[in-house]
Structure 1
Amino acid sequence: MIRLNVVVEGQTEEGFVKQVLYPYLLERNIVVTPRLVLLKRSRGSSARGGMRNYAQPKWDIQQWLRQDRSAYCTTMFDLYALPRGFPGVNNIPARSTPYQQVRHLEKAFSTDLSNPRGFIPYLQLHEFEAILFSNVNILDSALNAFTPESKLNELLQIMDKFENPELIDDDPKTAPSKRLYHLYPAYDKRFFGELVAEMIGMDSIRAECPHFNSWIERLEGLDPIT
């Protein structure tokens, strides 16, 4: 078995890794362990989840890599609203595509950590909610129970504007999550995020989200660390 540790940004990503990614990769002989970013530790207690600055995930990842040298380590952080100080943010190439931007940032991320053995950086384009747009029929079916009427037509109109869910923009007013909050006021990321993702399934997410799929392909190709 190959072991893979995943440092995640929040509880929704943690739930996604446990409920969706874990069983999927277990079938491929990869055992996944998620952990929320460590924010602070004091007197034997710790606080995890969210990222106020880059120093927090950097320290946490470095610690986990040192403590568990027989496991790979990857991340699941939103590209949207990266914490201050994140490497590569200030020198993103002009007129680059979202895919070029995210690859640039992931490379800068790994470089800043001195390209440690077993580290696989991953940033979600543009945020977790993008993967929920992989199947808008399922998305609307799940959220429609808490709204007066279906918003499927609105979801289809959104998707008509973009080549795939990962390209839904990261504007503060029109990021994937903001669109969901607007259409479905009862939307709660923690409650619905992993539930809808599990309903959609990994195969559909991979088919609709190229960058996510590239990440999974890389994980599937891992060899045991010796």
Structure 2
Amino acid sequence: MAAPGPSRSGEAELMRQVHVLVEGATEERLVGQVFQPELSRRGVWLTPVALKTRRAVGRPHDKGGVSKWSKIEHDIRALLRNSAVDTVTTMLDLYGLPSDTPGLADAPAGDAYARALHVEDAMTRAVADRRFLSFLVLHETEAWVLAAASELSELVASPRLADVLQAHVTAAGGPELVNDGPDTAPSKRILRAYPGYRKVVDGPDAVELLGLDALRAACPHLDAWLKRLESGPGGNTAP
């Protein structure tokens, strides 16, 4: 009989360790269900870590996950103190960031990708650690659910839902470009089209059904982040 293979924890020890700072349960499930299975095959072990300084219970989402950049930075630096971690990254919504987040006040208007990159670069410079890789979701993780409109429609048994959500994506030019207004953000569009939408369950399940390759093809900003995670510590190209 063949000897048993390495345990899951043993496999993790042999991989590059990446801690992903996320806002809550939805993002934790996305990391575990969608990103971890694929990246683990490429030598990257993702561990989601929820912000310790999230909004008070009942606070509206459009007020942001936390009130100050200093609280996010505190959690980033706490994760960086673990020398066993190769990379610390963020998976935070651009929509709802604290107003004092580095680069947010002078971010370019108009081009969503340029805006996200500008703020990510400013965050990277503020933390100033080669093991830190900033990433902001355009504009919130429900954009990825819009990419999985057909899968969500099947999941909740609402045939018309796919057409409604795909129309939003087509009009914007892509799921990552659906805007971040308080009434027009991806999550608000999904809830208007399907009031029974369960963010923590339905969203990750639909994206998992879509598959990571298809999601990356539809969301170039997400794809660029994952490529950097796959390339080496801190998102830098390995020698």
Q: TM-score range by the shorter chain?
A: 0.7 to 0.9
Letter in 2 for 1:74: T
Match of 1:171 among 144, 168, 181: 181
1:159 and 1:27 map into 2 onto residues whose CA distance is 31
Aligned length: 212
Other structure's SS at 1:156 match: helix
CA contact (8 A) 1:132 1:200 kept: no
Q: What is the aligned partner in structure 1 of residue 51 from structure 2?
A: 37
Match of residue 27 from structure 1: 41
Which of 152, 155, 172 aligns to 1:142? It is 155
Distance 1:210 1:176 in 2: 17
Equivalent runs, 1:50-199 vs 2, <5 Å: 50-93=65-108, 95-113=109-127, 115-143=128-156, 145=157, 150-199=160-209
Structure 1: runs of 5+ lacking an equivalent: 41-49
Root mean square deviation, CA, Å: 2.0
5+ residue gaps, structure 2, are: 1-14, 55-64
Structure 1 outlier segments of 4+, above 3 Å = none
Identity across matched positions, percent: 36
Q: Deviations over 1:56-83 (max 9, x none)?
A: 2110110110123542111100011112
- For residues 131 and 13 of structure 1, the distance between their equivalents in structure 2, rounded to whole angstroms, comes to 11
Q: Cα distance, 1:10 vs. partner?
A: 1.4
User: Residues 142, 119 of structure 1: CA spacing in aligned structure 2 closer, same or farther, 3 A cutoff?
Assistant: same
Distance 2:221 2:200 in 1: 23
Distance 2:22 2:36 in 1: 14
Report how far residue 162 of structure 1 moved.
2.0
Contact 1:87 1:105 (8 Å CA) reproduced = yes
What is the TM-score of this pair, normalised by structure 2? Answer: 0.83
